Amino acid sequence: MSVDADGFDWSGGHPALDLVNTLDERPFDQPIETLVSYRDLIRFVELAGLVEPPTAAELAKLSGPKCSNTLARTRGLREQLHDVLLAMHSKCPVRPSDLEAISAAIQVAHASRKLVAATSQYVASHTWSDLLAPEIPLHACAIAVENLLVAIDHMKVRKCGASDCDVYFVDTSKGQHRQWCSMKGCGNREKQRRRRPQTVG
Ligand SMILES: [Zn+2]
């Protein structure tokens, strides 16, 4: 795993994969949670480009049970997506219950947006119906997950080749041979491991 100075791993190349990668050290007994608080979640969705900075700034002022609930549901969505990715990676069937749960989150997310007139090349753009709804980070993540599942070639979604790293990423390299979440971290470590002479005995 290669964690940036902001505390998150951005090697996923897609916000939904970056969300999955917010649980660090997955293969170990005690994975490291980087979405500890609702504020962490706000920071994540803002840095991932899923929520506009002014909205994120307003959401960061919120607190209470709805915020904790949103954090828990976003972590739940993250784990459902992780299960889907793991099934694909292991060439096992995806559990219908995972897809149903993800689908329900996506439906609610779509229902929380509306169209407003746009000034760019398009007639309209999406905005949140309630700009102060504490659930916005969850909805933003759900829409990113939908994009990953329906618009990204699953053959390009890979798991890091290091045995002790469960980071997922989209392989956008020319030859489609990317093996590691980061060359600096896992790539170098694995190369050194392979170079090391095997102990006999
Ligand atoms: Zn890795």
137 CA distance to ligand 1 middle (Å): 26
State how far the Cα of 84 lies from the Cα of 64, in Å rounded to an integer.
31
Span from the CA of 31 to the centroid of ligand 1 (angstroms): 14
Distance 181 CA to ligand 1 centre (A): 4
Q: Record the tokens describing residue 182, joined without a space.
A: 């980061």
Rounded average pLDDT over 62-89: 98
Binned at pLDDT 50, 70 and 90, residue 1 comes out as low
pLDDT of 3 > 90? The answer is no
Distance, CA 143 to ligand 1 centroid (Å)?
26
CA of 18 to the centre of ligand 1 (A): 13
Report the predicted TM-score, pTM, of the whole model to 2 decimal places. 0.92
- Centre of ligand 1 to C-alpha 86, Å, is 15
As a whole number, mean pLDDT of residues 77-106 equals 97
Strand partners, 114: 127
Q: 168 in helix, strand or coil?
A: strand
pLDDT tens digit string along 106-146?
999 999 999 999 988 899 999 999 999 999 999 999 999 99
Residue 37 has pLDDT above 70, yes or no: yes
- The answer to whether 160 touches 169, Cβ cutoff 8 Å, is yes
Q: Residue 27 above 90 pLDDT?
A: no
